[in-house]
Amino acid sequence: MKNTGIYARLLLTLALIGVIFLLIMATIYFIANKQEKLMVDSSKVQFNNEVKSLVSLKSANLKQLVYDYSYWDDFVKNISIGNKDWYIENISSILKSYRFDYVCVYDTNFKLVHEAGLDGFVGIGLVSSDILAKVKVARFLDYFQATPEGAVAISCATVHPSNDPSHTLSKPSGYLFLAKKWDKTLLDELSVICGAKIIPLRPSDTVVNQAPYTISILHELKAWDGKNVARFIFVRSANSLRLYHDMSVKMALILLVLFLASGFIFRTAIRKWIVKPLLLVTDILKTEDPGQIAKLQHSSGEFRDIGKLFGNFFRQRDELILAKEKAEESDKLKTAFLSNISHEIRTPMNGILGFTELLKSPGLTGSEQQKYIDIIKISGDRMLNIINDIMDISKIEAGLIGINNTVSDINDQTAFIYSFFKPQAQDKGLAFTYKNGLSANRAFINTDHEKIYAILTNLVKNAIKFSESGSIEFGYELVQTRHALSQTETRRALSQSETRRALSVLQFYVRDTGIGIPADRQKAIFQRFVQADIGDTRAFQGAGLGLSISEAYIEMLGGNIWVESEEGKGTTFYFTIPCQIPKAEIPVEEKPVEVKIVPVAGMENLPKRLKILVAEDDFTSGFLISLILKDFAEQIIEVTNGTAAVEACRQNPDIDLIMMDVKMPGLDGYLATKEIRQFNKNVVIIAQTAYALVHEREKATEAGCNDYISKPLSVDLMMGLIKKYFDK
pTM for the whole thing? Answer: 0.40
Beta strands in 94-189 (DSSP E): 102-106, 112-117, 140-147, 150-158, 175-181
Do residues 308 and 390 both lie within one domain? yes
Query: What is the residue range of 541's domain?
Result: 402-590
User: Could you read off the pLDDT of 229-267 as tens digits, one per residue?
Assistant: 888 888 887 777 677 777 777 777 777 777 676 656 656
Domain-terminating residue out of 365, 400, 435: 400
End-to-end CA distance of the chain: 126
Do residues 381 and 513 both lie within one domain? no
Q: What is the pLDDT of residue 605?
A: 62
Do residues 117 and 187 both lie within one domain? yes
The answer to whether residue 252 sits within a structural domain is: no
Do residues 539 and 618 both lie within one domain? no
The conformational region for residue 698 under phi > 0 = left, psi -120 to 50 = alpha, else beta, is: alpha
Do residues 350 and 415 both lie within one domain? no
With residue 581 as reference, give the H or E element that holds it: none
Do residues 333 and 435 both lie within one domain? no
With residue 528 as reference, give the H or E element that holds it: none
As a whole number, the mean pLDDT across the chain is: 79
Mean pLDDT calculated for residue range 270-294: 75
Mean pLDDT calculated for residue range 353-361: 76
Q: Which of 60, 81, 62 is nearest to 70 (CA)?
A: 62
Confidence band (pLDDT; 50, 70, 90) for 704?
A: very high
Residue 615 pairs in a beta bridge with 639, 660
| Residue 362, domain CATH | 1.10.287.130
Confidence band (pLDDT; 50, 70, 90) for 533?
A: very low
Q: Which of 580, 562, 566 is nearest to 483 (CA)?
A: 562
Do residues 203 and 65 both lie within one domain? yes
Mean pLDDT calculated for residue range 576-595: 54
- Lowest-confidence pick of 65-74, 359-368, 480-489: 480-489
Q: Number of folded domains in the chain?
A: 4
Q: What is the pLDDT of residue 496?
A: 39
What is the Cα–Cα distance from 83 to 75, expressed in whole angstroms?
Answer: 10
The answer to whether residue 282 sits within a structural domain is: no
Do residues 498 and 427 both lie within one domain? yes
The answer to whether residue 293 sits within a structural domain is: yes
Do residues 67 and 157 touch, judged by C-beta distance below 8 A? yes
